[in-house]
C-alpha cells in the first residue's frame, strides 16, 4: 500500500475537489465517501448491475412514440442482403 502523500485541493464550481496522485487512482468513475472526524475516506463505489439500471427506467406511456415500420421489410421471403 502506498505511503501517505500530500495532494492539492482546488475549487470546481461550488465544489471543493482534490487532485488524486496516480498511485492512488481509482478504477471507474464513482467513489463512496465517508467522513469520520477529520478523516475523509474514499472507496470505489460498487458496480451497478444492469437490473438496477433498468429498474430506474420509466415505462413508455404510449405506443405512438415508435415510428411506423414497413411490414414488407420484415417479410420472411425477403433477403436482407439482396
**Domain that residue 4 falls in:** 1-59
pLDDT score, position 76: 67
Is 78 contained in some domain? no
The verdict on residue 77 lying in a domain is: no
Residue whose entry in the numeric block shows the C-alpha cell 433498468? 54
Give backbone dihedrals phi and psi of 39, rounded to 5 degrees, phi first.
-95, 135
Task: Give per-10-residue mean pLDDT for the chain (82 aa).
Answer: 84 94 89 95 89 85 68 66 62
Q: Is 72 among the domain residues?
A: no
Specify the pLDDT at position 8.
Answer: 94
Has residue 49 been placed in a domain? yes
CA 29 – CA 45 distance, rounded (Å): 8
Total domains in the fold of the chain:
1
Tell me the three cell numbers of residue 80.
436482407
Indicate if the alpha-carbon torsion angle 17, 23, 29, 30 is positive or negative: negative
- Tell me whether residue 37 is in a domain: yes
Instruction: Judge whether 54 and 33 are in contact, CB under 8 Å.
Output: no
pTM of the full structure:
0.51
Amino acid at each position: 500500500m502506498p505511503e501517505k502523500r500530500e495532494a492539492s485541493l482546488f475549487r470546481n464550481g461550488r465544489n471543493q475537489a482534490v487532485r488524486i496522485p496516480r498511485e492512488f487512482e481509482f478504477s471507474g468513475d464513482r467513489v463512496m465517501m465517508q467522513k469520520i472526524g477529520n478523516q475523509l475516506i474514499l472507496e470505489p463505489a460498487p458496480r451497478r448491475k444492469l437490473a438496477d439500471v433498468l429498474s430506474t427506467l420509466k415505462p413508455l406511456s404510449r405506443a405512438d412514440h415508435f415510428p411506423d415500420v414497413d411490414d414488407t421489410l420484415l417479410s420472411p421471403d425477403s433477403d436482407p442482403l439482396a
